[in-house]
Amino acid sequence: MSLPDLASLARGFAQPEPDSQRAFRALLDAMANPGRRHTITPPGFVGPADLPTSMACLLQCLADPQTSVWLSPRWRQAEAITGFVRFHCGCPFAGQPGDAELALMPATELDGQSLARLNAGTDLLPHIGTTLIIACSSLTAGTRLRLRGPGIADQVTIGVTGPPVTFWTTRLQMQDDFPRGIDLVLCADDQVLALPRTTRLEID
């Protein structure tokens, strides 16, 4: 494995330990409150230019040498991104999305079969399912989704630009498979929005 060019490497967290802890707490809050946008990127964070800063922040926060990561083929070909992952995370790259604990994809590459290619866990081991992190154009407009479930008082409506309707239709169909399922984290700029498998959605 070749070493990344340190001179051109994005530096990631300005203060790795406190910044990582702060980002992780923001992610936990997002998972506990589905549909609520959270600014996750700390001041001074610098990630690769081709990723939303929130997605790069999540990578540095969550991935380590024991975490298998699958990147979109487009991103696997970008040395700025793979170099960032190798240097800051040291994690192995999975050969297939279904073999990964974390899968990262741009919304433009999603389709109705994307979730079926991932590991949804089992009834006895639901926690081994893949977490899919998606780069979206916007977390305030686009396809309208009504959300219900734990962490939501009644219901909340969100707008997401990026994933096609066929993707959301498949996600809706998977709801009856609980506790199996795929946890979703949507990223745009420096914000994230979480849709854990416990969240039930309807498409407006």
Three-state DSSP state, 73? helix
How confident is the model over 65-110, as pLDDT tens digits? 999 999 999 999 999 999 999 999 999 999 999 999 999 999 999 9
How confident is the model over 12-26, as pLDDT tens digits? 999 999 999 999 999
Residue % of the chain over a pLDDT of 90: 93
Asked if 47 and 69 touch (Cβ cutoff 8 Å), the reply is no
Helix (H) or strand (E) holding 3: none
Q: Residue 9: its pLDDT value, please? A: 83
Three-state DSSP state, 31? helix
Q: Residue 1: its pLDDT value, please? A: 47
Mean model confidence pLDDT for the chain? 94
Using CA atoms, how far apart are residues 77 and 56, in angstroms rounded to an integer?
16
What DSSP designation does 117 have? G
Q: What is the mean pLDDT of residues 136-155?
A: 96
Check whether 7 has a pLDDT greater than 90. no
Check whether 6 has a pLDDT greater than 90. no
How are strands ordered across the β-sheet holding 200-203? 156-161, 138-148, 200-203
How confident is the model over 35-47, as pLDDT tens digits? 999 999 999 999 9
Q: What is the mean pLDDT of residues 55-59?
A: 96
Using CA atoms, how far apart are residues 78 and 56, in angstroms rounded to an integer?
14
User: What tokens does 73 get?
Assistant: 């083929």
Q: Residue 2: its pLDDT value, please? A: 52
